[in-house]
Amino acid sequence: MRIGILGGSFDPVHYGHLMLAERAREQLELDKVLFVPAATSPLKPTGPVASSESRVAMLQLAIGGNEAFEVSRVEIDRGGVSYTLDTVTAIREQFPQAELFLMMGADLVGQLGDWNQPEKIFAIAKPAIMNRGGYDAATAAEIEPFLTDSESGQVAFLQMPQIELSSSELRDRIGAGKSIRYHTPRAVEEFIRAERLYVS
Ligand SMILES: Nc1ncnc2c1ncn2[C@@H]1O[C@H](COP(=O)(O)OP(=O)(O)OP(=O)(O)O)[C@@H](O)[C@H]1O
Ligand SMILES: O=C(O)c1ccc[n+]([C@@H]2O[C@H](COP(=O)([O-])O)[C@@H](O)[C@H]2O)c1
């Protein structure tokens, strides 16, 4: 079993996340993609804008109907600051035989020096780096310092169409009264409207 892990704030989920997950599923021949919403991301200490349950609900709506996609509550249920090392350790215990991949957009590579023990994370889940519209492509040289010898050369560099979309942009657009139609699935857009999320 090959499992991809996509951690994020998903505040809210958008088509960039979904395209990343689908292209990674295809390129890595994954059986399952786990979307793991953070309770609080370590480098975003003010925390997400929408509640944990709203972000889980939006993810469920976004992935509905895709049997390969799942939402994991592991970080939400653990609460506090969501360190990825704790998460991959828990997922490894849940799936002892699986090959695990930690999927991340290229924007995260430059901040790995500020992560908690990335070399231990990548010993459990192999890094799979996706290009991200608006950011430079990641290089092997940037990731190598965070790999132990045995994983060298095992980084997957993945490709998707450049989508210059971010959750911040969706939040800003909603706050300014602008449309987010076609930025995220219709059901997510309707949930945001019904719950009056991100309205300033
Ligand atoms: N447009 C995109 N293209 C490729 N990867 C993306 C894109 N948007 C997000 N990602 C990746 O998805 C993961 C989760 O991202 P996150 O939930 O923090 O969304 P975000 O859009 O970066 O949010 P924010 O704007 O609030 O910082 C990260 O690995 C990030 O690099
Ligand atoms: O474990 C860490 O030290 C760490 C530091 C920064 C970010 N992360 C994880 O990286 C993912 C994307 O984070 P963010 O801040 O872009 O939403 C999310 O799953 C975070 O929990 C993890």
- CATH number of the domain within which 178 lies: 3.40.50.620
Residue 105 CA, ligand 1 centroid: distance in Å:
6
Q: Taking the CA atoms of 52, 199, 70 and 148 in sequence, report the sign of the dihedral they define.
A: negative
Give the full edge-to-edge strand order of the sheet including 2-8: 69-71, 32-37, 2-8, 99-105, 126-130, 156-158
Q: How many CB atoms lie within 10 A of CB 82?
A: 22
Q: Answer yes or no: is the C-beta of 24 below 6 A from any ligand 1 atom.
A: no
Q: Which residue among 108, 112, 135, 166 is best mutated to probe the pocket of ligand 1, counting the most ligand atoms within 8 A of its Cβ?
A: 166
Residue 87 within any structural domain of the chain = yes
Residue 150 counted as domain residue: yes
CA 9 to centroid of ligand 2, rounded, Å: 8
Look-up: residue for tokens 């996509």? 6
User: Quick one: what percent of the chain has pLDDT higher than 70?
Assistant: 98
> What is d(CA 200, CA 194) in angstroms, rounded to the nearest whole number?
15
**Quick one: average pLDDT of 27-53?**
96
Q: Which residues pair with 40 in a beta bridge?
A: 81
Interatomic CA distance for residues 107 and 40, integer angstroms:
18
Task: Tell whether 50 is covered by a domain.
Answer: yes
pLDDT exceeds 90 at position 81 = yes
DSSP-derived secondary structure letter, 137: P
pTM: 0.97
Predicted pLDDT at 200: 79
Joined together, the tokens standing for residue 85 give 């090392």
- Ligand 2-lining residues (CB < 6 angstroms): 7-9, 38, 41-44, 82-85, 108, 115-116
Could you identify the residue written with the tokens 């991809």? 4
Q: Which helix (H) or strand (E) holds 103?
A: strand 99-105
d(C-alpha 21, C-alpha 33), whole Å: 7
Q: Does residue 199 fall inside a structural domain?
A: no
User: What type of residue is 20?
Assistant: L
State pLDDT tens for residues 22-31.
Answer: 999 999 999 9
Q: Distance from the CA of 105 to the center of ligand 2, in angstroms?
A: 11
Enter the ipTM.
0.98
Q: Ligand 2 pocket test: which of 5, 13, 55, 84 has the largest number of ligand atoms within 8 Å of its C-beta?
A: 84
Q: What span, in angstroms and rounded, lies between the C-alpha atoms of 136 and 154?
A: 21
Q: Give the tens place of pLDDT for each residue, 149-171.
A: 665 568 999 999 999 999 999 99
Chain centre distance of CA 148: 23
Say if residue 95 is exposed, middle or buried (CB neighbours under 10 Å; 0-12, 13-18, 19+). middle
In ligand 1, which atom is closest to the CA atom of 38?
Answer: 17
CB 132 less than 6 A from any atom of ligand 1: yes
Looking at the chain, the whole-number percentage of residues with pLDDT higher than 90 is 91
Ligand 1 site, residue 76, Cβ cutoff 6 A? no
71 part of a folded domain: yes
Domain residues for the domain of 68 are: 2-194
Say if 200 falls within a structural domain. no
Domain count of the fold of the chain = 1
DSSP states of 33-67 as a string?
Answer: EEEEE-SB-TT-TT--SS-HHHHHHHHHHHHTT-T
Q: Of ligand 2's atoms, which has the minimum distance to the CA of residue 115? A: 3
More confident residue, 154 or 96: 96
